Amino acid sequence: MGIFISIVTLLLWGVAAAAAADNNTSFDFPSFTIHNNNNNNNITLLGDSSLTNNGLLRLTTAAPTYSTGAVVYNHPITLFDPQTSTLASFSTAFSFSINTLNPTSSGDGLAFFLAPHNLSLILSGPLGLPAAFVAVELDTHLDYPFRDPNENHVGFDINTVKSLKTGDPILHGIDLKSGNTIASWIDYNAKRTSLNVFLSYSPSKPVDPVLSVHVDLSQHLKDPVYVGFSASTQGLTELHQIHSWSFLRSAFVPPARTPHNVSVVGMRAVPASRPPKKPRHKRVSFVSGAAAAGSVSVFAVFSIILGYVFVRSRRRGGRRKDKGDNFVACPRAFDYKELKSATREFHPSRIVGHGSFGTVYKAFFMSSGTIAAVKRSRHSHEGKTEFQSELSIIAGLRHKNLVQLQGWCVEKGELLLVYDFMPNGSLDKMLYKEPERGKLLSWSHRKNIALGLASVLVYLHQECEQRVIHRDIKAGNILLDGNLNPRLGDFGLAKLMDHDKSPVSTLTAGTMGYLAPEYLQYGKATDKSDVFSYGVVVLEVACGRRPIEREGSKMVNLIDFVWGLHSEGRLVEAADKRLNGEYEEEDMRKLLLLGLSCANPDSAERPSMRRVLHILNSEAVPLAVPKVKPTLTFSSHLPLTIQDIVSDAQDLNAMCHITIDPL
């Protein structure tokens, strides 16, 4: 193998000289310095852009007014073959950082663009883009007129910032506004007419793109083409900086002679913060030269080597990943300073929710480039008790539909738990969000949520070494990962029980609207009380309604609402109207009946979660649901009626946990 590599190295050396003849195919800026003549001669700074003393290219300033800037590579890039007029493949790799000076607001972000002219750039538009362009935007502002999905997205634009397609970097663990150095690769394959955008906190190029677009750029570009970056802000909010930049166009190869066109897209790994070492830089130059020379034989040989190295590295990476996963899966003690830094000293802008015993913050760990959720306890005996309960229970649980615990911290009088971060938030926020805030949960996603939640409850009730009763199953405690798969979280109220023992009396704790009647009456948590709560969630998912809603002057209970329609033979009318009928009627009927059977007031008539799972998988016949909702009588009356409890509630959407002391 060593002799083989030596031969290929000599071949690359042989074609490197030929590459010097073509200065329109590649360039490389490992850093930007004020006194670097090469920088000054090859780039034009426009607007507020400037070079810093520490080797960065700053596009915007911290001025108290609107700031916009751009940088353009002075020399046009020849993208079209003059003989065949076909477009060549190309790649650009760069590292950047976006620093949000005011956490409560943000600027527009920055963009990489290709434009027909370098002197007609007008920096007055959004993101400081020219009048005509093809661009990849790294957008940090939510603009409703441009149909932005959120304030942290990657978009592909042609002549307008209303993106043709967007990707969510959070799903890949990347926050554009974190202030960290981010490496980016933008690859265009002309043969496949595909453009891919990759982001990483490390110099290693990821396998999966953040954004993938099928587009024929030959319809939107023509020579000459100028490339550059632009950015804009909205006052004293963001600084946009480019740390390094390279561009590489593949060689022109006649399609008839090269049916398998080899592109060297994304060959260079961009450094996260410092210029590359000289030996590596030379190797990059050799590769660029080989691409410019267009030697098919060299590319074929080089591809074989690259494939071999790639397979070997993936195998080694896979083994490392397995070890890393095992490490993460085993909860560990975190350092308080690390969590404080990752949450920006528990800044209010990092709050993403509230758990059973405290506030949940979004945390960015700069050392590893990862994101997590940190739950911080309230300073009370109650908070400590729930913290210990949650830690002792969930630390030993493993299921794909559970929020994974990464670790904990007990320092400075603080109690903190660290979890995997769920980018799509909680089910209730996704289910009830306004249409303009994002896409509605589809019927397939809703069925998957019901199935995933049933699966994890079977695990908790029957497959754990000790039976786990969650006691607070609700839409707010069901989180959604990047693929909208459900993850059950918040075990602060959960209880461990032996499989062969009955539950014991305890404090009634949970959320009104999800509490089973017998649990509310006697304070005895069982697996059947969890089944009741699951039934309420299933009805929520199918109907798009909260467990208790105010309609005019009266309160409407979801279970009563659905059961009333069932008794009138109009069950499917309970379906969420926002779905616009985009569901199978029999599937909807099946899910609604399942929700009612689980929410039966009589606990003895409720199915086990295993039976529920079998029904969802069409492995068991659905239970018969009576047309009239069963009524229950207790030996003693409730200390408070439900009407008494909710009569003073001004906003049921923000209703807190209800705790009733035992009699």
Q: What is the pTM of this model?
A: 0.50
pLDDT at 520: 80
User: What pLDDT is recorded for position 595?
Assistant: 97
CATH of 427-660, one of 3.40.50.720, 3.40.190.10, 1.10.510.10, 3.30.470.10: 1.10.510.10
The residue that leads in pLDDT, 54 or 469, is: 469
545-603 per-position pLDDT tens digit: 999 988 888 889 999 999 999 999 999 999 999 999 999 999 999 999 999 999 999 99
pLDDT at 471: 86
Residue 523: pLDDT band with limits 50, 70, 90: confident
Reply yes or no on whether the pLDDT at 315 is more than 70: no
**Predicted pLDDT of residue 202:** 85
More confident position, 146 or 311 = 146
What SS3 class is residue 190?
coil
Q: pLDDT at position 487, please?
A: 94
Note the pLDDT of residue 661.
33
Q: From CA 416, how far away is CA 312, in angstroms rounded?
A: 40
Confidence of residue 606 (pLDDT cuts 50, 70, 90): very high
Name the band, by pLDDT with cuts 50, 70 and 90, for residue 524. Answer: confident
Tell me how far apart the alpha carbons of residues 14 and 430 are, in angstroms, rounded to a whole number.
58
Question: Is 375 annotated to bind ligand?
Answer: yes
Dihedral Cα 288, 291, 293, 295, nearest 10 deg: 140
Residue with the bigger pLDDT between 352 and 287: it is: 352
DSSP 69-86: EEEEESSPB--B-TTT-P
Give the pLDDT confidence score for residue 358 in this predicted structure: 77
User: Which one of 175, 472, 527, 576 is the catalytic residue?
Assistant: 472
Return the structure tokens found at 508.
């009634």
Provide the pLDDT for residue 435.
Answer: 53
| 311 φ/ψ sector (left φ>0, alpha ψ -120 to 50, else beta) | alpha
Residue 648 has pLDDT above 70, yes or no: no
Average pLDDT over every residue of 120-130: 65
371-387 mean pLDDT: 70
Query: Which has more confidence, 662 or 476?
Result: 476
Asked if 172 contacts 208 with a C-beta cutoff of 8 angstroms, the reply is yes
In angstroms, the CA 109 to CA 141 distance is 7
- Per the DSSP assignment, residues forming a β-bridge with 387 are none
pLDDT at 639 exceeding the cut of 50: no
Range 20-252+264-271 has CATH code 3.40.50.300: no
Least confident of 101-115, 179-193, 348-362: 101-115
Is the pLDDT confidence value at 149 over 60?
Answer: yes
pLDDT-based confidence at 509, cuts 50/70/90? low
pLDDT tens per residue, range 251-268: 765 544 333 333 333 333
Instruction: Output 32 or 40, whichever has higher pLDDT.
Output: 32
DSSP state, 398?
-
Quick one: pLDDT at residue 276? 40
Name residue 485's amino acid. Answer: N
Tokens at 504, concatenated? 């014991």
pLDDT score of 143: 77
Q: Give the tens place of pLDDT for each residue, 70-106.
A: 899 988 888 888 888 888 999 999 999 988 766 555 6
Residue linked to tokens 């397979």: 311
For the ranges 116-130, 404-418, 486-500, the maximum mean pLDDT occurs at: 404-418
Convert the pLDDT of each residue in 365-378 to its tens digit.
887 778 899 988 76
Tokens 């000054």: give the residue: 40
More confident residue, 102 or 19: 102
Average pLDDT of 201-221? Answer: 90
What separation in angstroms does the CA of 47 have from each of 34, 69, 181, 366?
17, 4, 23, 31
DSSP letter (8 states) at residue 441: P
Give residue 320's pLDDT: 34
What mean pLDDT comes out for the span 330-354? 87
Ordered by start, the domain boundaries in the chain are 20-252+264-271, 338-420, 427-660
Q: What percent of the chain has pLDDT over 70?
A: 69
Cα(473)–Cα(487) distance, integer angstroms: 11
Find the helix packing angle between 609-616 and 443-458, rounded to 10°: 150
Is 338-420 CATH 3.90.330.10?
A: no
Average pLDDT estimate for 475-488: 91
Mean pLDDT in residue range 156-174: 90
Per-residue confidence (pLDDT) for residue 46, from 0 to 100: 85
Asked about 472 being catalytic, the answer comes back as yes
Q: Indicate the angle between helix axes 278-293 and 296-329, nearest 10 degrees.
A: 140
Of residues 269 and 630, more confidence is placed in 630
Q: What percent of the chain has pLDDT over 90?
A: 32
Query: What contacts 436, CB < 8 A, 6 or more positions away?
Result: 144
For 394-437, how does the pLDDT look when each residue is reduced to its tens digit (9 = 90+)? 777 888 899 988 888 888 878 888 999 998 889 998 898 755 45
The domains spanning 20-252+264-271 and 427-660 adopt the same CATH topology: no
pLDDT range class, residue 357, cuts 50, 70, 90: low
Amino acid 82: pLDDT: 80
pLDDT at res. 266: 32
Give dist(CA 646, CA 489) in Å, integer. Answer: 26
